[in-house]
A = this chain, B = another copy of it.
Amino acid sequence: MTGRPSEYKVVLVVRGELRLTAGKAAVQVAHGAVMLYQLAERRHGAALEAWLRGGQKKIAVVAPTLADLEELQRQARARGIPTVFVEDAGLTEVPPGTRTVLGLGPAPEAEVDRVSGSLPLL
């Protein structure tokens, strides 16, 4: 391949207002990555293959509020990017069912970046 016209990426967007500890955030991000993997296996096989071939590139970023995550999900869906919401079991730090992370992808990097490219890294 010349250049990387179809590099695929997963983005995990952490809900900043929850102020999760590093360990809690890591676990929620991991949960989102596994959920996206499961979803892609069922419905986005070609994207999953492309993502795995590229070394399963992923990044973790932050958006302030749940409303921000919901808006990002709307934008991603409008572009056909797979999305998942991680809901915490609520054993620690936050109440049960709290939405902690929005997962996006795997999808072409240029597409995902149009949705989440301006967010700061976790």
Enumerate chain A interface residues (CB-CB to B < 8 A): 12, 14, 21-23, 25-27, 29-34, 37-38, 55-56, 58-61, 89, 121-122
Contact = CB atoms under 8 A, between A and B. Distances in A.
Nearest to A59: B27
A27 B27 contact: no
In the complex this chain forms, how many copies of it are found?
A: 2
Nearest to A52: B38
A60 B56 CA distance: 20
Q: 5 shortest A-B CB distances, which residue pairs? A: A23-B122, A30-B33, A26-B26, A22-B22, A26-B29
Contacts of A30: 12, 26, 29-30, 32-34, 58, 60
A122 B56 CA distance: 23
